[in-house]
């Protein structure tokens, strides 16, 4: 079992808020945003760190096989089985597998961000900055299929995240 690191714990808490979860899933389904990367962008902002487009693209490439060969097919099958009564128990097993695979993606992200040897390459420490600006900047670094639609949705995610910040 993978160690539960601060990115994973943060993600579990943030994702538990339904309005934010809905926006993240909309970003995933409409624009191809990887929810784990969006959560990492928020986590980095909370730590005063900037995510560069180059680093986000590099990490997406490093996790591509795990996401494309593991998470996405499992998710697709789990979604197809929704509402089919006799498949609910195996569907729950698929959900657990999907979560385990997502945890592996986050472990890769966490290791990359936490590595002292790579900090300069991955991020730059932000000067005192408005958290809202840093969140939006980090979300904007994520590659998406439609930048214009992503800008509007990312702004809604940032606003919802800030609105729920006091509940964490």
Residue 79 pLDDT: 96
Nearest residue to 14 (alpha-carbon basis) of 47, 33, 38, 32: 38
Q: What is the pTM of this model?
A: 0.88
Residue 114 pLDDT: 83
Q: Which two tokens stand for residue 53?
A: 């487009």
> Which residues have a Cβ under 8 Å from the Cβ of 110 and sit 6 or more positions away?
5, 6, 7, 8
Long-range contacts of 65-68 (CB under 8 A, 24+ apart): 66/101, 66/104, 66/105, 66/108, 67/34, 67/105
SS3 2: coil
Q: What is the largest CA-CA distance in the chain?
A: 55
* Cα gap 10→23, rounded to integer Å: 17
Residue 4 pLDDT: 73
Q: What is the mean pLDDT of each run of 10 residues along the chain (168 residues)?
A: 77 95 96 96 91 95 97 97 96 97 96 63 50 92 93 95 74
Q: What's the per-residue H, E or C state across 70-114?
A: HHHHHHHHHHHCCCCHHHHHHHHHHHHHHHHHHHHHHHHHHHHHH
Q: Which two tokens stand for residue 62?
A: 């490093």
> Which residues have a Cβ under 8 Å from the Cβ of 80 and sit 6 or more positions away?
none
Residue 135 pLDDT: 94
Nearest residue to 122 (alpha-carbon basis) of 41, 65, 46: 41
Residue 168 pLDDT: 52
Tokens 């592996």 identify what position? 104
């Amino acid at each position: 079992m993978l160690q539960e690191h601060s990115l994973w714990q943060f993600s579990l808490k943030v994702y538990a808020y339904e309005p934010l979860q809905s926006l993240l899933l909309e970003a995933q389904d409409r624009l191809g945003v990887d929810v784990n990367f969006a959560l990492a962008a928020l986590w980095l902002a909370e730590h005063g760190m900037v995510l560069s487009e180059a680093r986000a693209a590099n990490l997406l490439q490093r996790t591509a096989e795990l996401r494309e060969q593991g998470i996405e097919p499992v998710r697709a099958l789990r979604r197809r089985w929704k509402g089919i009564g006799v498949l609910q128990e195996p569907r729950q097993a698929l959900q657990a597998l999907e979560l385990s695979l997502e945890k592996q993606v986050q472990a890769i992200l966490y290791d990359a961000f936490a590595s002292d040897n790579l900090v300069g390459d991955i991020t730059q420490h932000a000067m005192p900055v408005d958290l809202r600006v840093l969140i939006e900047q980090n979300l904007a670094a994520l590659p998406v299929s439609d930048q214009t639609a992503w800008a509007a949705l990312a702004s809604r995610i940032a606003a919802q995240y800030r609105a729920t910040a006091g509940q964490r």
